[in-house]
Structure 1
Amino acid sequence: MATATSLVLSTFFHCSSSKLSPFPSPSLPNSLHLHKYRPFLPFSPSKLFLLPTSSPNPPTSSSPSCFLKFNLPKPSLPSPFDSLLLLCTSVVLSSSLFLADVDPASAFVVTTPRKLQTDELATVRLFQENTPSVVYITNLAARQDAFTLDVLEVPQGSGSGFVWDNEGHIVTNYHVIRGASDLRVTLADQTTYDAKIVGFDQDKDVAVLRVDAPKDKLRPIPIGISADLLVGQKVYAIGNPFGLDHTLTTGVISGLRREISSAATGRPIQDVIQTDAAINPGNSGGPLLDSSGNLIGINTAIYSPSGASSGVGFSIPVDTVNGIVDQLVKFGKVTRPILGIKFAPDQSVEQLGVSGVLVLDAPANGPAGKAGLQPTKRDAYGRLILGDIITSVNGKKVTNGSDLYRILDQCKVGDKVMVEVLRGDQKEKIPVILEPKPDES
């Protein structure tokens, strides 16, 4: 065994063919040391045990062959110590093969990692980190079978939402849950829970649900700020369009401080975010995120003149949503001030050739009725007598219903506002104390 450590590899190459003459063996070195040729071996052994070739006679030049001949020293009998050392080494190597936790496929197959750009990696990471916060909402309605008269629950719509806190509150759009007799929320791990309505705000199209899910399954979404957004910055929308599983669409902010009307009440929603990220049916109620993964809005509507799913998307800013959700969680409703009037469509007032809001009705128990605003009515002969036309509130000009709503959104319940009206040919100023909006069923 000791002589094997200083093994000398003697090689003799003998090749012949019809085109090449045999190399003369004297031109080759008689011996090649192993340590000089270790880089050419598939492994780097410290000891190499070789057996001499079985054919003592080299082939003749007429046989086109190449062979290696190894001259090995005559092995000596191993000592008992060397045998014991070899046995221990074999046991250790065998044990390591059984104890090593190596995947047999990955141990021999080397896969090249997919090369992604920096922005691609950031997008992938954003989707993976925020997907657990997005939920799927199913709107169920009670329907009576025409033949059996049994009452069944059938899905009448679906949408998206996101986890607001660890208490199980889910935020979505009001139009997603409108008219529902029952609601179900499916989390990212595909577990489904019955949801209860905590409260909703029809004017701003926001609703809050609650599910009794374990806290370890609830992943609240990080809340951002929408006041410092800029046109051109990247945004990401996550939702469940067309009932599909979590889907990511990307785009940029294409406009700020837009105004849309609530689908339920027609009341304007100010400071809406306009984006070119695809918002399809089923995306409603889902989150709109910035490049840091923070919530900046709720995907609400899409404006498409062609009626297709492609168009301009709109999202309610998170600064508006934050205040609404806090009131809904605490009180179950939003205490928004109202004048307590019903007014005519803007087109009707334009036909009269005046600018303002025509009062159609002012209930006596409402703020405007208590202050003395006059509604539109008919006299004893059936002739129409126009009511007061509101031209300004607190010195701010009112040309249509959106202007009136915009001014009231800046006021609080209990504030006294000065309402200027056109009554006949005269202008009058009437103080009105704003009251909260009545409860909605």
Structure 2
Amino acid sequence: MTWSQDPMQEPPQQWGPYPGQPGPREPQGSPEPPQRGSGRGWWQVPTAAVLAAALATAGTWTLAEQGVIGQDEPAQSVSREPAEGTPASASAQQGDDSTNQPAEAEVAAGSTPASDPHWSGIAEKVSPSVVAVTLANGAGSGVVLDDEGHIVTNHHVVAEGGPIHVTLQDGRSYPVEVVGSDPVTDLAVLELEDGPKDLQPITVGDDKDLKVGDPVMAIGNPLGYAGTVTTGIVSALDRPVRASGKSPEEPVVTNAVQTSAPINPGNSGGALVDSRGRLVGINSSIASLGRSADTAGSIGIGFAITATQMKNVTEDLVESGSARHPQIGVRIEDGRVEHDGAQLAAAGVVSVEEGSAAAKAGLQKGDAIVGLDDNQIDGVWSLIAQVREQRVGDEVSLRVIREGKEREVSLTVASEAKGEATAEGGTP
């Protein structure tokens, strides 16, 4: 072997998505949920990466620095309008022009969007594209994708099933059906039944254009306060986020946008937009220092599924009702490798699946993967997250250290075989 095992790489795990508002909450001191794969398993799964908090009002995925968070306390029954003077948030108002064209905010004359965003104009233009999602047991948020009535939200928001309604920014409410839901990526697509003709789809931007420090706005339905907007910056990019829930489903792995914009339970499925009002992420989880529902809430570390992954998954869900999950076919573990006199964190290849994309590309047992395209790979979860953001059929280049020498390995991302997407038996 040319790399050494690194047992410190795996991030803390946390409670994962809970659909809607929960019934009885978990008692404090609940036992930690079992790990669903130690980072040394086959990763075909689209699971895992850095702490997160599913933001449905019924249960936020929260990350604890040590230990696990219990389920969030049910939100109180509140009016659709936020209370006057609600700190760190504002209720977005309906603009005068309701059209079925994608919403793109106008920028105030003389301002530079990246450094001086016109947030009130952005909120006015984008808020009609964000909806409140309500179920019998809870609530979340959603984003209008097109004028045909497709709405994206988080899987954990709608996972419990039952009648679902969405409420538009102007107060109109409609029943929706689930077109498709993918627990692996925590994304779902809803469709309005006999929806209005004046739906305003959001403009989808390119998260690849984001830079750390860029201003962003989160829009959603936290704790039932519909139309709430909060602002912050991009705190980090390509952040591997791992979250798991009470269900036996796989933990979710996301190559996330980290933001300081306050995000709270109920924001799940809502929009993260850039300084021009373009969608760059779907808010899905938060980190928390608390160990129970009593202390779960925004501490300025929130995570959004990238617009890139959202587009890949929702296109599959709309077309077929299910999502394809990319894989390359290697069994990996966290490790470190020596290169040019320095130690590098890496994803070490334990074995290569016969006939897989990795095998065809020449990956070998003992290889240390330290990069994918222009992105650094520092362990199991970052490689899983990066692969999961690709589309099946994409060409990627892996940076590999083999016997002390660096080499590039190009391969075509494949689709996981049916029934193999588990932490124990999958492959990335």
Return the offset for 1:280.
0.5
Q: Find the partner of 1:245 among 218, 226, 242.
A: 226
Judge conservation of contact 1:201–1:324 (CA < 8 Å) in 2: no
Check whether the contact 2:167–2:174 (CA below 8 A) recurs between aligned residues: yes
Q: What is aligned with 2:166?
A: 186
CA distance in 2, matches of 1:256, 1:288: 14
Structure-2 change in CA distance of 1:318 and 1:302 (3 Å): same
Number of matched pairs:
286
Name 1:160's counterpart in structure 2: 141
SS at match of 2:243: coil
**413-422 or 240-249: bigger deviation:** 413-422
2:127 equivalent in structure 1: 131
**Maintained 8 Å contact 1:137/1:183:** no
Which fold has the larger relative contact order, with Cα–Cα distance below 8 Å and residues 6 or more apart in sequence? Answer: 2
Conserved in 2, the CA contact under 8 Å of 1:259 and 1:268? no
Q: Which moved more, 1:407-416 or 1:236-245?
A: 407-416
Equivalence for 1:196: 178
**Displacement, 1:390?**
4.5
Question: Aligned partners of 1:398 and 1:235: how far apart in 2?
Answer: 26
Q: Distance in 2 between matches of 1:158 and 1:329?
A: 22
Q: 1:190 to 1:403 in 2, by over 3 A?
A: closer
Spell out the pairing of 1:327-338 with structure 2 (5 A cutoff): 327-338=316-327
User: Of 368, 376, 393, which residue of structure 2 is paired with 1:391?
Assistant: 368
Unaligned runs of 5+ in 1: 1-117, 140-153, 375-387, 424-429
Q: What residue is the counterpart of 1:257 in the other structure?
A: 237
C-alpha separation in 2, matches of 1:289 and 1:314: 13
Q: How does 1:400-419 map to 2 (within 5 A)?
A: 400-405=379-384, 408=387, 412-413=392-393
The 5 Å alignment of 1:373-392 reads 388-392=365-369
Q: Give how far 1:326 is off.
A: 2.6
Q: Is 1:303 matched up with 2:292?
A: no
Give CA deviations for 1:340-396 in whole Å, capped at 9, x if unaligned.
Answer: 45555x3899xxx9976577887779767999999xxxxxxxxxxxxx544349999
Query: Distance between the aligned counterparts of 1:236 and 1:286, measured in 2?
Result: 11
| CA apart distance, 1:232 | 4.3
Cα 1:359–1:391 change in 2 (3 A) is: closer
Take 1:266 and 1:431, find their aligned partners in 2: how far apart are those partners?
A: 28
Return the offset for 1:240.
0.8
> Percent sequence identity over matched residues?
30
Query: How far apart, CA to CA, are the structure 1 residues paired with 2:279 and 2:310?
Result: 10
SS of 2:216's equivalent in the other structure is strand
Q: Distance in 2 between matches of 1:275 and 1:395?
A: 23
The offset of 1:162, in angstroms, is 1.1
Q: Cα 1:124–1:412, aligned 2, differ >3 Å: closer, same or farther?
A: closer
The answer as to 2:195 corresponding to 1:218 is no
What CA distance in whole angstroms lies between the structure 1 residues aligned with 2:190 and 2:132? 12
**Is the contact between residue 230 and residue 253 of structure 1 (CA under 8 Å) also seen in structure 2?**
no
How many angstroms apart in 2 are the aligned matches of 1:242 and 1:391?
44
The amino acid across from 1:288 in the alignment is: L
Conservation of the 8 A alpha-carbon contact between 2:329 and 2:353: yes
Q: CA deviation at 1:134?
A: 1.5
The structure-2 alpha-carbon separation of the partners of 1:399 and 1:315, relative to structure 1 and needing over 3 Å to count, comes to closer
Residue of structure 2 aligned with 1:339, choices 312, 328, 334: 328
Q: CA 1:274–1:416 in structure 2 vs 1: closer, same or farther (change >3 Å)? A: closer
Cα distance change of structure 1 residues 199 and 361 upon mapping to structure 2, 3 Å threshold: farther
Q: Per the alignment, in what secondary structure is the counterpart of residue 318 of structure 2?
A: helix
Please name the residue that 1:285 is paired with: 269
Offset at residue 414 of structure 1 (A) = 8.7
The unaligned stretches of length 5 or more in structure 2 are: 1-107, 245-249, 338-342, 404-408, 422-428
Deviation, structure 1 residue 239: 0.9
Assess, with a 3 A threshold, how the Cα gap between structure 1 residues 256 and 367 changes in structure 2: closer, same or farther.
closer
Structure-2 separation of matches of 1:395 and 1:276: 27
Following the alignment from structure 1 to structure 2, what is the Cα–Cα distance between the partners of residues 121 and 227? 19
- Residue 283 of structure 1 deviates from its aligned partner by 0.5
Q: Aligned-pair distance for 1:241?
A: 0.8
Query: In the alignment, is the contact (CA less than 8 A) between 1:236 and 1:248 conserved in 2?
Result: yes
Contact 1:301 1:313 in 2 (8 A): yes
**Change in 2 beyond 3 A, CA 1:122/1:331:** same
Q: Is the 8 A contact 1:196 1:209 kept in 2?
A: yes
CA distance in structure 1 between the partners assigned to 2:234 and 2:361 by the alignment: 44
Give SS of 2:208's match: coil
The 3 A distance-change label for structure 1 pair 193 and 225 is same
Counterpart residue number, 1:384: none
SS at 1:284 equivalent: coil
TM, length-normalised to structure 1: 0.51
Normalising by the residue count of structure 2, what TM-score does the alignment of the two structures yield? 0.52
CA contact (8 A) 1:287 1:297 kept: yes
Give the helix-richer structure, 1 or 2.
1
What amino acid is aligned across from residue 195 of structure 1 in structure 2?
E
Query: Any conservation in 2 of the 1:357–1:389 contact (CA below 8 Å)?
Result: no
For residues 267 and 340 of structure 1, do their structure 2 counterparts lie closer, same or farther at Cα, with a shift above 3 Å needed?
farther
